[in-house]
Structure 1
Amino acid sequence: MIQRIQSIYLFLVVLISGGLSNVLPYGLNQNGDDLLPQDNFLVLGMFSGSAILALVSIFLFKNRQLQFVLGRINILLNFILLGVFVYWSLTLSGETLVSEKGIGMLIPVISIVLLVIANKAIKKDENLVKSVDRLR
Structure 2
Amino acid sequence: MNYHIGEFSKKVELSIDTLRYYEKIGLIHPERDDINRRIYCERDISWLNFIFRLKATNMPIKQIQYYSKLRYMGDITLKERLKLLEKQMNRLHIQKNNIEENILHLERKIGIYKEKIKKQEVNK
**Fold in common (TM above 0.5):** no
TM-score class normalised by the smaller sequence: 0.3 to 0.5
TM-score, with normalisation over the residues of structure 1? 0.34
- Higher RCO, 1 vs 2 (CA within 8 Å, ≥6 residues apart): 1
**Is the radius of gyration larger for structure 1 or structure 2?**
2
Give the TM-score, by structure 2 length.
Answer: 0.36
